[in-house]
Amino acid sequence: MAENLTPLSTAAPVVPDKVGTEGLENKWDESWREAGTYDFDRTATREQVYSIDTPPPTVSGSLHVGHVFSYTHTDLIARFQRMKGKSVFYPMGWDDNGLPTERRVQNYFGVRVDATLPYEPDFVPPHEGGDGKSIKARDQKPISRRNFVELCERLTVEDERQFEALWRYLGLSVDWKQHYQTIGARARKVAQAAFLRNLARGEAYQAEAPGLWDVTFQTAVAQAELESREYPGFYHRLAFHITDAAKAAEAEAKGAPVENGVDVCIETTRPELLAACVALVAHPDDERYQPLFGTTVTSPIFGVELPVLAHPQAEKDKGAGIAMCCTFGDTTDIDWWRDLQLPLRAILRKDGRIQTETPEWITDAEGVAAFEQIAGKTTFSAREWLVERLAETGEMRGEPQKTVRQTNFFEKGDKPLEIVTSRQWYIRNGGREWVNPASNTNLNDELVERGRELEFHPDFMRVRYENWVRGLNNDWLISRQRFFGVPFPLWYRVDENGDVNYDDIITPDESTLPVDPSSDAAPGYSEDQRGVPGGFVGELDIMDTWATSSLSPQIACGWLEDEDLFERTYPMDLRPQGQDIIRTWLFSTVVRANLEFGALPWKHAGISGWILDSDHKKMSKSKGNVVTPMGLLEQYGSDAVRYWAASARLGLDAAFDESQMKIGRRLAIKVLNASKFALTMGGEGADLDLDPSHVTEALDRSVLAELREVVRISTEALAAYDHVKALESTETFFWTFCDDYLELVKERAYNREGLWDEESARSARAALAIVINTVVRLLAPFLPFVTEEVWSWYREGSVHTAVWPTVEELASVEGDAEVLRGASAALIVLRRVKSEAKVSPRTPFLAVTVAAPEALMETLKLVEADLRAATKIEGVMTVEAGAAAEGEDAAVAVTSFELGEAPARKKG
Mean pLDDT of 527-543: 93
Q: What is the CB neighbour count within 10 angstroms for residue 118?
A: 8
What sections of 808-874 are H helices per DSSP? 817-837, 854-862, 864-871
> What confidence tier does 889 reach under pLDDT thresholds 50, 70, 90?
very low
Q: What is the pLDDT of residue 66?
A: 86
CA distance 37 to 52: 17
> What confidence tier does 462 reach under pLDDT thresholds 50, 70, 90?
very high
Q: What is the pLDDT of residue 687?
A: 86
Nearby residues of 787 by Cβ (< 8 Å), 6 or more positions away:
671, 776, 777, 779, 780, 799
Please state whether beta strands 542-543 and 479-480 pair in parallel, antiparallel, or not at all (unpaired).
Answer: antiparallel
Q: What is the pLDDT of residue 415?
A: 83
Q: What's the chain's average pLDDT?
A: 91
E strand map for 667-808: 688-689
Residue 132 confidence (pLDDT) above 60: no
- Measured at the CA of 125, the angle between CA 123 and CA 130, to 5 degrees, comes to 155
Cα 474 → chain centroid: 24
Stretch among 223-232, 235-244, 845-854 having the lowest mean pLDDT:
223-232
Nearby residues of 451 by Cβ (< 8 Å), 6 or more positions away:
462, 465, 466, 469, 590
Q: What is the pLDDT of residue 331?
A: 83
Q: What is the pLDDT of residue 61?
A: 61
Q: What is the pLDDT of residue 226?
A: 72
CA distance 481 to 775: 55
The predicted-structure confidence for 472-527, as pLDDT tens digits, reads as follows 988 998 998 877 789 999 999 999 999 999 999 999 999 999 998 988 999 999 99
> What confidence tier does 169 reach under pLDDT thresholds 50, 70, 90?
very high
Q: What is the pLDDT of residue 566?
A: 98
Single-letter amino acid, residue 502: Y
Residue 60 confidence (pLDDT) above 70: no
Q: What is the pLDDT of residue 480?
A: 85
Q: What is the pLDDT of residue 886?
A: 47
Please state whether beta strands 87-89 and 305-310 pair in parallel, antiparallel, or not at all (unpaired).
Answer: unpaired
Q: What is the pLDDT of residue 573?
A: 98
Residue 887 confidence (pLDDT) above 60: no
Cβ 183 vs Cβ 97: under 8 Å: yes
Single-letter amino acid, residue 8: L
Stretch among 134-138, 238-242, 827-831 having the lowest mean pLDDT:
134-138
Residue 657 confidence (pLDDT) above 70: yes
Residue 660 confidence (pLDDT) above 80: yes
pTM above 0.85, yes or no: no
The predicted-structure confidence for 705-745, as pLDDT tens digits, reads as follows 999 999 999 999 999 999 999 999 999 999 999 999 999 99
Residue 136 confidence (pLDDT) above 80: no
Beta bridge partners of 477: 426
> Radius of gyration over alpha carbons of the chain, in Å?
36
Nearby residues of 347 by Cβ (< 8 Å), 6 or more positions away:
273, 275, 276, 354, 355, 359
Single-letter amino acid, residue 518: S
- Pick the more confident residue, 843 or 752: 843
Residue 895, H or E segment:
strand 893-899
Cβ 547 vs Cβ 486: under 8 Å: yes
CA distance 696 to 815: 9
3-class state of residue 730 by DSSP: helix
Residue 5 confidence (pLDDT) above 80: no
> What confidence tier does 211 reach under pLDDT thresholds 50, 70, 90?
confident
The predicted-structure confidence for 298-347, as pLDDT tens digits, reads as follows 999 999 999 999 998 899 888 889 999 999 998 889 889 978 889 999 99
Q: What is the pLDDT of residue 341?
A: 86
Stretch among 288-302, 369-383, 473-487 having the lowest mean pLDDT:
473-487
Residue 621 confidence (pLDDT) above 90: no
Q: What is the pLDDT of residue 112?
A: 86
> What confidence tier does 218 reach under pLDDT thresholds 50, 70, 90?
confident
CA distance 369 to 363: 10
Nearby residues of 472 by Cβ (< 8 Å), 6 or more positions away:
223, 429, 430, 431, 444
Residue 133 confidence (pLDDT) above 60: no
Stretch among 143-157, 479-493, 561-575, 782-796 having the lowest mean pLDDT:
143-157
CA distance 330 to 694: 78
- The candidate with the shortest Cα–Cα distance to 50, out of 197, 159, 175, is 175
Residue 834 confidence (pLDDT) above 80: yes
The predicted-structure confidence for 758-808, as pLDDT tens digits, reads as follows 999 999 999 999 999 999 999 999 999 999 999 999 999 999 999 999 999
Residue 145 confidence (pLDDT) above 70: yes
Residue 890 confidence (pLDDT) above 60: no
Mean pLDDT of 549-571: 97
